[in-house]
Amino acid sequence: EPEVTQTPSHQVTQMGQEVILRCVPISNHLYFYWYRQILGQKVEFLVSFYNNEISEKSEIFDDQFSVERPDGSNFTLKIRSTKLEDSAMYFCASSIGLAGRGDEQFFGPGTRLTVL
Amino acid sequence: AQSVAQPEDQVNVAEGNPLTVKCTYSVSGNPYLFWYVQYPNRGLQFLLKYITGDNLVKGSYGFEAEFNKSQTSFHLKKPSALVSDSALYFCAVREPGGYNKLIFGAGTRLAVHP
């Protein structure tokens, strides 16, 4: 069964450093997302991406964040200068089609980011 | 603004008994509703969804959920719980016609005891 994969599973970085979290969505999916879950808190939407551009982003997704689909398979989330409060589990997700169809999103296993 | 409430942090059930995990929502228009399950060190796994049609939807692993528009609820149910059902369950809502952003509830930890 196809699945969303994410690397690395755990990333430790120093405050102020740049990190890139990687995701490989399901191959025939057209919509891609990033969510995060701070320990003990809700899963929060960060950004959605379609047709090589951001379709929606949350207030959390400020100028420190960027997303990219550098090739036909990878989808990345970059944090330019990490802060302590960026420590969280980051989930990538993908869905097959248009928003109006109510397609479910398939989530990866997550990358745990620890900022020291 | 869209929101989802899961009023119980934890639900404890004996194996073989029916289980219910509660979810209420607030959204303008007709919502799209989803249930996901998270096992330790795993991502969110899709269980079931309500888009339109029959208020009772069936999903994976014997789970079902009932959409109740008047009570703005979408409770997750299973007739007979298994110990392996023990996990964290998330309800999520999306506004139709817009983008795909999911709004999640805080999650309910289900503990099924032998």
Please tell me the predicted confidence (pLDDT) of residue B99: 66
What tens digit of pLDDT does each residue of B38-74 get?
A: 988 778 999 999 988 899 999 999 999 999 999 999 9
Fold of domain B3-113: Immunoglobulin-like (2.60.40)
What tens digit of pLDDT does each residue of A43-100 get?
A: 999 999 998 999 999 999 999 999 999 888 899 999 999 999 999 999 999 998 755 5
- Counting beta carbons within 10 angstroms of the beta carbon of residue A2, is it exposed (0 to 12), middle (13 to 18) or buried (19 or more)? exposed
SS3 state at B42 = coil
Q: Which residue from A minimizes the CA distance to B100?
A: A99
A116 neighbors A14 (Cβ within 8 angstroms): yes
- Counting beta carbons within 10 angstroms of the beta carbon of residue B5, is it exposed (0 to 12), middle (13 to 18) or buried (19 or more)? middle
B101, B104, B108: best mutation site toward chain A, by most A Cβ within 10 Å? B101
Average pLDDT over residues A20-46: 93
Tell me the two tokens of residue B68.
């109740």
Please tell me the predicted confidence (pLDDT) of residue B97: 61
Domain extents in chain B: 3-113
B88 neighbors B109 (Cβ within 8 angstroms): yes
Rounded to whole angstroms, the Cα distance separating B52 from B11 reads 28
